[in-house]
Structure 1
């Protein structure tokens, strides 16, 4: 067949990044969303998501992609992905009403011979329950990562595919598109693919929790986790790309949703999920690391202390604040004035009665008694500890992700504290 025409329905993070990546492969691509205002922004080049390289990629392949709020445009497409971001509540439960409505619109506006694939994160059983007479709905695992979406979308490791019959040939449009990326295709039954995504995130969460648990022990016994992690990565059973960097608990929403899904399904089906519950508990414990350090070192003895916070996004290279450790910290510092800065998130995102928005990182440190670096933004690595020492009123610097040079920080007279190492 001739090259298939591809469409993505839902122009939030997942659908937009995936559509631009499809255009980068040279496929004629449509980005559809019923929100005409959103489509107008995207068409004008004002992308609603922040991802390194995404704007450049769109400009480079603009001739391959169109955006529309007209659902009838889907009729010309051979392969249509249903790809909205699925929101979750505070307990990690997905709101599936939006994807259901979008799927109905897609099915009503596509040809009967078009291939329809759900790309969004959904619980096991979702895709099979949405089958329609005369139509087949397939599933594909999305593996984008906030802050690395361009890399993940343009250079996938593999495609995990949910099918009604894993042994049957893939629809030609789907196979032609996927094979253009040159990576393995892993067809499996629908429920296996839906659970595969959850399994990946559970394994990642287990690695993060292992690192956090042992890094905290390092802080007590005088070991240094940064010395131990390279030894683990050289073990073939663990591997060089293992998630072994300690952090401030799980955030972003996706992993938390999958852990909540496993606990809910385990309760429904009578299986054991004690390990998953332990991961959730550990995440909550580590998220409060900065608050515990502040109370122990400063707040208990300095009631008029002022705190600086660098970073509000839950991770670098994104404006997402879902379950942000920084915002959780600021909310618990209501009794103390706070100065905050983030390159992508306005300070108004934080809930605090006495918050000052700084214009840059160094300004956030001005006259504060303690500075907490809560997001791994690359530009924070450029901060000179000597400049911080001259700018701050106090000496305490909390740098959980080791963005600063520890020796330089201590040489500048700072009380420097990080995850995974005892404070000298």
Structure 2
């Protein structure tokens, strides 16, 4: 009999996973405790912007004309427990208020609410990013609460989604990692992921702690690479070097590679910053804090870049933001997303606003979320409207739309043709030819 899949938590990770499981041919039931979110998903819409996700949902959500009907949603824990053979837990693990550690309350609550209703054999699979050691504790708690007892198992299957590519990363992952304790659990997960494995996706089987560590180790490595090139940008600025040419040169070394070597205002979002901080906190609890002291400097370099962008903008307008109009292109932490969590772009915009600048922000997809987070900033409906009368324009999120802007056209509406590229993604020569003073982080002024 074909496996039935449930997905608990229908945020960014859960909604994508549920739709992808339906695409792979499984009957899927998703659960969330927020009825409004369920209503949205049942109409084939998502609570966030992710390219291709709404199309995938509409292809499978029951009740939508022409759909496969394989994907449904509920708020009922008993229904979820009765329906599923494999239960994926995809709830959020934010940073704790006022400390570095991970807040496990949503994961704990989801696991306990599910376990109480498990009267038949099932595999519960954690996908959330958690501190190492969590799976061991949760497995014991499930065994204690589940009416089916030992017939309910736990496995850990970390997610590696990139916002903007989440659908592709779920259907065609570059690797699948499963932390299991039995052949049965491994067999079930091989059945779930049979299609990508048949395409050649590596299937890595580990113990619980290793599976938990993979995601945080991967994010720590990526954060390190980003902060490394940003540290080199600081040196280039002091030595009058060019960090873009430096990155190109070292990127040809296959041991290093060119990805994640674009200097700028640093990383943000809902994963990298909180994951490396939670990793440091957990290492401290385990008595291994010295192993990760380098991550403090990674975090420090990253946060410092935001302040340096503000200083660069202040210098560009003559030493004070008072009475100056500042246009900010970009609000999301990365392109192809509407996610503004810990966004470097919004952080810079907010700092400039606090120092007296008249800031106007434009972003192709993140405007509503940005307004909720920073209601005191100005917002425009287009890049052309945002830059009107600006004394300096800041490019802070590398959307394709911004790379395709017409420098000459924009030059006609600004007060000063001054552009600061905080992402090293624009064509400097093109802007300079149109009469703009163009500055980028870690690059020569001209």
Give the structure-2-normalised TM-score: 0.89
- Residues 166-221 of structure 1, C-alpha deviations (whole Å, 9 max, x = no match): xx453533220122212221111111111111111111111111111112323333
Q: Is the 8 A contact 1:7 1:29 kept in 2?
A: yes
* Map of 2:9 onto structure 1: 10
Q: 1:389-420: CA deviations, max 9, x gaps? A: 11110122111223432112111121111123
Contact 1:78–1:173 (CA under 8 A) maintained in structure 2? no
Report Cα offsets for 1:205-250 as digits up to 9, x if no partner. Answer: 111111111123233334333323333333221235x321113122
For residues 123 and 318 of structure 1, what CA distance do their matches in structure 2 show? 26
From 131, 134, 150, the counterpart of 1:123: 131
1:350 Cα deviation (Å)?
Answer: 5.0
Which residue of 2 is the match for residue 177 of structure 1? Answer: 192
Specify the SS of the correspondent of 2:162. coil
Residues 9 and 91 of structure 2 are in contact (CA less than 8 Å); yes or no, is this contact kept in structure 1?
Answer: yes
Give distance in 1, aligned partners of 2:158 and 2:408: 47
Kindly tell me: are residues 358 and 236 of structure 1, through their superposed partners in 2, closer, same or farther at Cα, counting changes over 3 Å?
same
Cα deviations across residues 363-382 of structure 1 (Å, max 9, x unaligned)?
00000101111111221112
Give the corresponding residue for 2:241. Answer: 223
Tell me, what secondary structure is at the counterpart of 1:340? strand
| Equivalence map 1:24-423=2 (5 Å) | 24-62=23-61, 63=68, 64-74=70-80, 75-89=82-96, 91-131=99-139, 132-133=142-143, 134=150, 135-164=152-181, 168-182=183-197, 183-239=201-257, 242-268=259-285, 269-272=287-290, 273-300=292-319, 303-333=322-352, 334=354, 335-344=356-365, 345-346=367-368, 347-351=370-374, 353=376, 355-423=377-445
Classify the secondary structure of the residue corresponding to 2:412.
helix
Q: Rate the CA distance shift 1:371–1:378 in 2: closer, same or farther, 3 A.
A: same
1:309 & 1:349 partners in 2: Cα distance? 17
**Structure 1 residues 219-228 or 308-317, which shifts more?**
219-228
CA distance in 2, matches of 1:181, 1:92: 35
CA contact (8 A) 2:411 2:434 kept: yes
Q: Deviations over 1:241-260 (max 9, x none)?
A: x3211131221131222221
Alpha-carbon distance in structure 1 between the residues aligned to 2:282 and 2:76: 38
Report the CA distance shift for 1:12/1:30 in structure 2 as closer, same or farther (over 3 A): same
In the alignment, is the contact (CA less than 8 A) between 1:385 and 1:404 conserved in 2? no
Most deviating of 355-364 and 255-264: 255-264
Q: CA deviation at 1:28?
A: 1.4
With 221-230 and 109-118 compared, the bigger mean Cα shift is at 221-230
Q: How much does 1:336 deviate?
A: 1.8
Deviation, structure 1 residue 351: 3.3
Structure 1: gaps spanning 5 or more residues: none
SS state at 1:170 partner: helix
- The verdict on how the C-alpha distance between 1:217 and 1:364 changes in structure 2, with shifts beyond 3 A counting, is same
SS where residue 296 of structure 2 aligns?
Answer: helix
Q: Indicate how the Cα distance of structure 1 residues 366 and 221 shifts in structure 2: closer, same or farther if over 3 A, else same.
A: same
**Whole-angstrom CA distance in 1 between matches of 2:425 and 2:387:** 15
2: CA distance between counterparts of 1:267 and 1:173? Answer: 35
Contact kept, 8 Å, 2:163 with 2:337, in 1: the verdict is yes
Distance 1:324 1:267 in 2: 27
Distance 1:350 1:29 in 2: 34
State the shift of 1:13 in Å.
0.6
Return the alpha-carbon distance in structure 2 between the equivalents of residues 184 and 169 of structure 1.
19
SS state at 2:389 partner: coil
Cα gap change, 1:47 to 1:352, in 2 (>3 Å): closer
